């Protein structure tokens, strides 16, 4: 039996992006659904998978059209109050062979809208690998369904088979949820924040900075309680895209609604955050003075270091950060990062190269590798960040850093280090 596979940052950087070892490439091996990976291995899984994401549109309901197995774990969402929002059109083998279920979808939508004691804003029709393979024309199905039930029907593609495509399921989901917006007169003092299904943390400084720049209203889909509020998003003068998976949605909004977008990245290196705000200010024609937030984050890091020393971290990927960028930030702040459990891609390889310079011995593991079922700790780790890292080290202090309120900017760094301080001081671990 092999131990868990890992490669050091130095060795990986030297090998280069074109020579990533097979154990770090998910298409080259079986996938281990470690308890740590379950919340992202499936686009229908916990957190905001396609199913829950589709229902971000206020007052919408979802019809899942699939074999029973695809909708089974949806019951997990019942705990979050989604019981009355999901409906299932169950496919059998004859449905799949003959395609007869396509005619049932409009009827099902009509039956659902009749059953409800309110008129939903939309029926999100969620389809799965079956329709990915059959090549179902969902636009057409949705048109027929909308005619049958009298409310807009929107496709939600839960295509696990296409997870590594240019437009993966979560990118398509983002595009779908903004597709009900209609053109209207834009307002110069309003903007939209895109990228997440839930809202940014209220403490995030971006609100204050935008306010100082004259923005009076920031639209976020995660804050919309009603469909009326949702429709106001298209009043935005511009969009800020904080997650690259929302790029396709933003491009679509630019094309359909004329709303241009600016892409920002969630970072944990203060100097880079500052630089990003400077560039944003230039783009919108305002000077964004982020110095107080920068200083606050810097001081929090220094206080943490003074109290706990140069601790050694394990950084996972079930968290609100890019694992490698966060690890790089921690190293640049003077801490050690012993291990990272992450997915290496083209976008984050640049961080790995920099990490190799400041922390060449950092071990990089893939949560998805079958060898991870044999994982055992072999080096010194003091504290973990991420639910997956916490799973591997249940005996160590940890923070999950995967809450629904999305951290961003300097305040993300401040809040993270405050949570880390509490975890280390109290020896508190994430409950797995």
Q: Which of residues 139-178 bind other proteins (CB under 8 A)?
A: 158-165
Could you say which of 18, 27, 346, 376 contacts other proteins (CB under 8 A)?
Answer: 27
Residues 6+ apart with CB under 8 A from 187: 217, 235, 236, 237
Q: Which of residues 361-390 bind other proteins (CB under 8 A)?
A: 368, 370-371, 373-374
Q: Which stretch binds other proteins (CB under 8 A): 33-41, 205-213, 331-339, 405-413?
A: 33-41
Give whole-number Cα distances, 201 to 140, 185, 315, 408, in Å. Answer: 39, 29, 21, 8
Nearer to other proteins, 188 or 374 (CB): 374
Q: Which stretch binds other proteins (CB under 8 A): 91-99, 117-125, 298-306, 314-322?
A: 91-99
Could you say which of 9, 56, 57, 91 contacts other proteins (CB under 8 A)?
Answer: 91
We find the least distance from the C-beta atom of residue 84 to other proteins, in angstroms, to be 9
Q: How many CB atoms lie within 10 A of CB 42?
A: 18
Q: Which of residues 104-123 bind other proteins (CB under 8 A)?
A: 104, 107-108, 111-112, 115
We find the least distance from the C-beta atom of residue 363 to other proteins, in angstroms, to be 18
| Through-space distance between the first and last CA atoms of the chain, rounded to whole angstroms | 26
- DSSP characters for 71-138? HGGGGGGGGGT-GGGEEEEE--HHHHHH-THHHHHHHHHHHHHHHSSS--S-EEEEE-HHHHHHT--H
Determine contact, residues 308/392, Cβ cutoff 8 Å: no
Could you say which of 18, 69, 182, 225 contacts other proteins (CB under 8 A)?
Answer: 69
Q: Which stretch binds other proteins (CB under 8 A): 126-134, 242-250, 324-332, 392-400?
A: 126-134
Nearer to other proteins, 100 or 140 (CB): 100
Could you say which of 12, 13, 24, 32 contacts other proteins (CB under 8 A)?
Answer: 32
Coil/strand/helix, residue 260: coil
Determine contact, residues 68/130, Cβ cutoff 8 Å: no
Distance CA 398, CA 427 (A): 8
Residues forming the site for other proteins (CB under 8 A): 1-2, 26-33, 35, 38-39, 41-46, 66-76, 78, 83, 86-93, 95-96, 101, 104, 107-108, 111-112, 115, 128-130, 132-134, 158-165, 368, 370-371, 373-374, 432
């Amino acid at each position: 039996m092999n131990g868990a596979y890992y490669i050091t940052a130095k060795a990986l950087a030297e090998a280069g992006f074109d020579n990533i070892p097979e154990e770090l490439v998910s298409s080259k091996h079986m996938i281990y659904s470690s308890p740590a990976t379950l919340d992202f291995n499936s686009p229908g899984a916990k957190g905001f998978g396609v199913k829950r994401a589709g229902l971000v549109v206020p007052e919408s309901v979802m019809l899942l059209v699939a074999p029973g197995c695809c909708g089974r774990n949806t019951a997990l969402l019942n705990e979050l109050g989604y019981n009355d929002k999901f409906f299932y059109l169950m496919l059998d083998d004859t449905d799949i062979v003959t395609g007869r279920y396509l005619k049932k979808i409009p009827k099902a939508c009509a039956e659902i809208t009749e059953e409800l004691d309110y008129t939903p804003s939309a029926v999100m029709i969620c389809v799965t690998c079956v329709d990915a393979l059959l090549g179902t024309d969902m636009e057409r199905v949705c048109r027929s369904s909308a005619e049958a039930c009298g409310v807009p029907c929107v496709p939600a593609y839960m295509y696990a088979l296409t997870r590594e495509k240019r437009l993966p399921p979560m990118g398509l989901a983002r595009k779908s949820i903004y597709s009900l917006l209609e053109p209207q007169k834009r307002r110069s003092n309003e903007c939209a924040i895109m990228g997440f299904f839930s809202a940014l943390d209220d403490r995030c400084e971006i609100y204050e900075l935008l306010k100082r720049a004259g923005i009076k209203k920031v639209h976020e889909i995660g804050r919309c309680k009603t469909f009326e509020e949702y429709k106001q998003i298209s009043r935005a003068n511009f969009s800020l895209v904080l997650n690259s998976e929302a790029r396709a949605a933003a491009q679509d909004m630019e094309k359909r609604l004329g709303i241009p977008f600016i892409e920002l990245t969630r970072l944990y290196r203060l100097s880079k955050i500052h630089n990003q705000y400077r560039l944003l200010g230039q783009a919108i024609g305002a000077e964004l003075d982020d110095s107080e937030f920068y200083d606050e984050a810097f001081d929090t890091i220094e206080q943490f270091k003074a109290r706990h020393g140069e601790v050694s971290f394990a950084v996972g990927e079930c968290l609100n950060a890019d694992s490698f960028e966060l690890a790089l930030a921690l190293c640049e702040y003077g801490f050690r990062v012993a291990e990272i459990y992450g997915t290496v891609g083209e976008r984050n390889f640049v961080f790995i190269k920099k990490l190799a310079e400041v922390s060449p011995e950092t071990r990089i593991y893939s949560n998805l590798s079958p060898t991870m079922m044999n994982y055992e700790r072999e080096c010194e780790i003091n504290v973990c960040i991420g639910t997956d890292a916490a799973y591997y080290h249940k005996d160590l202090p940890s923070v999950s850093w995967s809450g629904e309120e999305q951290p961003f900017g300097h305040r993300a760094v401040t809040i993270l280090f405050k949570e880390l301080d509490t975890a280390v001081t109290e020896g508190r671990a994430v409950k797995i």
